[in-house]
Structure 1
Amino acid sequence: MKAGRPVPGAPFLCAVLCALAVCMAGGCGRRAPALTPPPASNGLPRADPGYLQWLERQSMLGRVPELAAQVSGTERLWHNSSTARRVPVLLRAAPNWLALDARVLASGTPLFRALHSARLPERLPALGLEGLFLAPVGEQGDVWTARSAAGGQPRGRAATAAASFMPDPAWGSGEDFARLAEMAEAAGVQTGGELPPAATGLGPDFMLQARQAPRFGGVYAMISVPREAWGDLPEAAEEWDCRPLEPEAVARLADRGLLPPALMRDRLAWAAPSGWAATGEVRGVDGQLRRWVYRHGPAVLRPVLHWQDPGGQARRIFSAASILQTGLEGQTLTGLRFEALMGLDVPPAEGASGGDGSAPDRAALTPGLEALDEAAREIHRYGGWAMQADALPAALAPLVLDGPVDFTRDAATPAAAARALREGDAAPLAAALRAALDAGIEQRRCARGPDAPGGFASGTRGDTAASLALRALGLPARIPAGAGERRALRDACLFLLGWRIGLPGLAFFSPAELAGALPPEGGGDGVTPVWDETPGRAGAAPPMPLAFGALAEQEGDDGSFLRAVSRLLLARKATGLALGELVAVSGGRDGWVATVSSLPEGGMWLVVGNASPRRRALSVPLPRPARSARDAAPDASGRAPRLAAGGRAVEVELDGRQCRHVLLEKQ
């Protein structure tokens, strides 16, 4: 094991590797399900037992005993503290991450295998990328439901979510991942991913609970509706023809005492769309037909796990997922998506303070924060780091970081940067940065990345970083032909990424952003090459035009966009900026904004962004005097120009829609 790798100690690692070998030999990795499952019904007046047994083998809860046995009653529970705070260790080892999403990547082979064949982990450190974040990996729920939900509910990327611990076929097998992880270990690259979200896909666990299979009660927040109340439910053509409940139907069921009249979540102005839905008629193991109402997340086919059920089934699922991902697979960073649990409780009779979303209140978020805290402790117990991965309001960051969670996603800053570029106005970005500074948010514990699978989604649906930049420049969403337009596009994209690169904390980047991917002709979703030029999967979305070229081509070109980003990332790692502290925000008027972060070993990192279309010369104030100033990273020729720094100000010249990073040496 190489020095400084932030994983469990050597004795624990050896035990884990042995367990993993046994586990993979016995099918603990991706287990290939039967090609043709038993029929859901064979004419009997009850659910077919063979089909139920097959479903259990595919379910998350069905794998809990197998995974829990890997650590229950063993010394492995005592190798790491569940309350450990080791944020600096990970920030020194892996401040910069490449984020991969199989749904938007074209690959002729399963993705784990393609990454291994391209030897991608070995190529990343030279580019300033020390982490490989793979998510979402779990088998998606849409494979279990042939029909889309009614009422125009979204499908595909917006609607599906993991419904199994097994990797989705687009990623490959557990054995494929093990080979990739071994290569990453040897290259000094950390791996990470996400646990199943609290709003999962509709899959085996949901179906088994609806059939009242033994041991599966209480997994999801769902209630059996008496037959006399079926008239209050929407009509359904079949079992899993799930339909949303209209407010009037919810009110009628609440009058019957079947549903709560209100939830604290209903008062959270920022909460993602959610509600109640109903299944069709489901035949149970006892032969009885039942209809269920259940809580769903952003789409009807995203049922929400029931964290507060006294049986603790949802907690057992997350515990097993942590054992698998952190303990057995050795993934360093684990993302948690528990937004669907925020406010999923009945308010007290006297009301819930802060429930209108105007002020953060821990009680109003029950049981979401408690679930985050407990899951983070579990991840720590197996030697990993926990990251809150949902796009929560910035005002909630202090509450999240007050617990054991190591990092929380900062969605506000990238979105404000996109708005600044689009509108030529830096005031919203400056306001967001000042609010974070005034709130005392520990920036080193923030994680920033793309807010959509293919890159940016700020503004219109389907935007990428490159298409958003072109729109800000007043250019059509196609690869620019002229050198001047290409240079302007490059500067605008560096402006967008600059507020991840130039602030403390974890920074994530997608292949689509680094390649300058644009929406495919005709609109809709598209895919980009993994790294090298590879053929797309059969039936995959169309390829996205790449304004900066394939990453494999850029890798060997010192003048490429990828190399420009990588030089900044290498400087970010060398100076320890990820461990720094945001100390000042200036500007906001006249289209420019600047931040200053102190560095762990002295000196400061200055980021200056000009969102306006005009070139300008700025005198940027500093919180303390600097001896000298130079560009934080060399250019393609290896030069790092010096800037004039006199006392408590530095002189910076910027073209329109440009961002510049300056390293300030302490006096």
Structure 2
Amino acid sequence: MSSHAAESPEPGASTPNHEDQANEPAEITFDEHLHPARPKSLRFRPRVRAPFVRRSLAQDGPPTGANPAYVSWLLSQSMLSDANEISQQFSGQGSMWQNPFARPHPRSAVDTASVWFTAYPLSLITRPEESFLKAMADETLWKAFSEIGIQAVHTGPVKRAGGISGWQLTPSVDGHFDRISTQIDPAFGSEDEFRQMCGTANWYGGTIIDDIVPGHTGKGADFRLAEMKYADYPGIYHMVEIDPLDWQHLPVVPDGADSVNIDAATEDWLAKAGYIIGRLQRVIFYAEGIKETNWSVTRPTVGVDGVERRWVYLHYFKDGQPSIN
């Protein structure tokens, strides 16, 4: 009996048809179903229909919650307020449903661009009088990227960061990873230059990967409004109002500071009193006398209702980076 005959299947047994398997259509993606023959560059993408124009408000009077002008100015700087306004351009529109979401697709991201150039804004040396974003929009740069196989640029954080103290902006405490605004930081360029960068990248078949900091913000307008208990802004953060009768257990905030880190004993007392969840698994950036726990307490702050409050808030990183709830 030949070896071929020995390997023949039993009579009546089904034989897999490899040709049929090879020709069996693979499951198509939602995007392929929606745009079966449209090149990627021409596929519809939901986007802001018009540049967002921020109101310019006068700075008048004391920077307290009792001053309506100050509260209005903070709202004009607030990321949550901006988001509510920008979302109106998408709410109820079919553009919201043009792409699948709610399930991570890391392989799709890699398929789109498998080789990235990460450009940390503070570390990039540009030509004289040239902004970071203008440098990243340079056509010669993208031509070189396309020739050596770089398919995407990750910009790093380019939005305004740091904090607000009174009417003044304060600098970043962690390399611009303490975002306080939806605006491009003027130190890195303008929105027009950002759009130019995206256009140049698209021309050379590249992708721009913007940056977000999802775990925390800086102490910008949103945090200041939360301190004043404006609307539901405290709910943005993991922050808890402390009863004035219990302020005796809280440390005094030093002059010139807006908060102070609590020690382990105070953390334990607040946990037992039911204010906070207590000690966390680790303390990042631990430094004795500076950051001994992941919790800090604010100075007394007058709210929009005229009530003075103190808050204990969570910050996994530095005290200028309150954690989002």
Q: TM-score, normalised by structure 1?
A: 0.38
Deviation of residue 217 (structure 1)? 3.2
8 Å Cα contact 1:239/1:279 also seen in 2? no
8 Å Cα contact 1:147/1:241 also seen in 2? no
Distance 2:155 2:165 in 1: 22
Deviation of residue 137 (structure 1)? 1.8
Q: TM-score, normalised by structure 2?
A: 0.75
8 Å Cα contact 2:216/2:324 also seen in 1? yes
Deviation of residue 80 (structure 1)? 1.5
Of 71, 75, 80, the match for 2:90: 71
Deviation of residue 173 (structure 1)? 2.1
8 Å Cα contact 1:239/1:280 also seen in 2? no
1:279 aligned partner: 298
Of 183, 192, 211, the match for 1:166: 183
Deviation of residue 238 (structure 1)? 6.0
Q: 1:219-256 deviations in whole A, cap 9, x for unaligned?
A: 11111111122122221246952110001111222233
Distance 2:227 2:111 in 1: 47
8 Å Cα contact 1:277/1:293 also seen in 2? yes
Deviation of residue 261 (structure 1)? 3.9
**Taking structure 1 as reference, are residues 90 and 130 closer, same or farther at Cα in structure 2, changes over 3 Å only?**
same
1:290 aligned partner: 309
Q: 1:612-666 deviations in whole A, cap 9, x for unaligned?
A: xxxxxxxxxxxxxxxxxxxxxxxxxxxxxxxxxxxxxxxxxxxxxxxxxxxxxxx
Of 114, 130, 137, the match for 1:116: 137
Distance 2:77 2:130 in 1: 23
Deviation of residue 181 (structure 1)? 0.6
1:497-512, aligned counterparts within 5 Å? none
Distance 2:159 2:101 in 1: 25
Deviation of residue 116 (structure 1)? 2.4
1:23 aligned partner: 50
**Taking structure 1 as reference, are residues 258 and 100 closer, same or farther at Cα in structure 2, changes over 3 Å only?**
same
Deviation of residue 155 (structure 1)? 3.4
Greater strand share, 1 or 2? 1
2:63 aligned partner: 41
Of 194, 197, 208, the match for 2:225: 208
In structure 2, what residue type is equivalent to 1:111?
A: F
SS where residue 210 of structure 2 aligns? Answer: strand
Deviation of residue 196 (structure 1)? 2.7
Distance 1:139 1:148 in 2: 10
In structure 2, what residue type is equivalent to 1:169?
A: P
1:181 aligns with 2:198: yes
1:624-643, aligned counterparts within 5 Å? none
**Unaligned residue ranges in structure 2 (runs of 5+):** 1-37, 287-292
Q: 1:267-316 deviations in whole A, cap 9, x for unaligned?
A: 3x69776611011111111112111110012111110011xxxxxxxxxx
2:12 aligned partner: none
**Taking structure 1 as reference, are residues 53 and 302 closer, same or farther at Cα in structure 2, changes over 3 Å only?**
same
Distance 1:47 1:80 in 2: 45
1:53-452, aligned counterparts within 5 Å? 53-82=72-101, 87-107=106-126, 108-117=129-138, 119-142=140-163, 155-157=173-175, 160-237=177-254, 241-262=258-279, 266-267=280-281, 275-306=294-325
Q: 1:433-465 deviations in whole A, cap 9, x for unaligned?
A: xxxxxxxxxxxxxxxxxxxxxxxxxxxxxxxxx
SS where residue 224 of structure 2 aligns? Answer: helix
8 Å Cα contact 1:200/1:304 also seen in 2? yes
Deviation of residue 85 (structure 1)? 6.6
Q: 1:399-448 deviations in whole A, cap 9, x for unaligned?
A: xxxxxxxxxxxxxxxxxxxxxxxxxxxxxxxxxxxxxxxxxxxxxxxxxx
8 Å Cα contact 1:137/1:168 also seen in 2? yes
Distance 1:148 1:89 in 2: 39
SS where residue 124 of structure 1 aligns? Answer: helix
8 Å Cα contact 2:139/2:200 also seen in 1? no
- Higher RCO by CA contacts (8 Å cutoff, separation 6 or greater): 2
8 Å Cα contact 1:139/1:168 also seen in 2? yes
Distance 2:178 2:84 in 1: 23
Distance 2:198 2:169 in 1: 36
Deviation of residue 119 (structure 1)? 4.3
Distance 1:89 1:172 in 2: 30
Deviation of residue 78 (structure 1)? 1.9
Q: Percent same amino acid at aligned positions?
A: 23
Q: 1:485-510 deviations in whole A, cap 9, x for unaligned?
A: xxxxxxxxxxxxxxxxxxxxxxxxxx
Distance 1:239 1:104 in 2: 30
Distance 1:250 1:270 in 2: 13
Q: CA RMSD in A?
A: 3.2
**Taking structure 1 as reference, are residues 127 and 77 closer, same or farther at Cα in structure 2, changes over 3 Å only?**
same
In structure 2, what residue type is equivalent to 1:216?
A: Y
8 Å Cα contact 2:260/2:296 also seen in 1? yes
8 Å Cα contact 2:284/2:316 also seen in 1? no
1:481-496, aligned counterparts within 5 Å? none
8 Å Cα contact 1:38/1:54 also seen in 2? no
**Unaligned residue ranges in structure 1 (runs of 5+):** 307-667
SS where residue 235 of structure 2 aligns? Answer: coil
**Taking structure 1 as reference, are residues 184 and 38 closer, same or farther at Cα in structure 2, changes over 3 Å only?**
farther
8 Å Cα contact 1:163/1:196 also seen in 2? no
8 Å Cα contact 1:4/1:93 also seen in 2? no
Distance 1:222 1:97 in 2: 37
SS where residue 66 of structure 1 aligns? Answer: helix
**Taking structure 1 as reference, are residues 288 and 276 closer, same or farther at Cα in structure 2, changes over 3 Å only?**
same
Distance 1:86 1:293 in 2: 37
In structure 2, what residue type is equivalent to 1:79?
A: Q
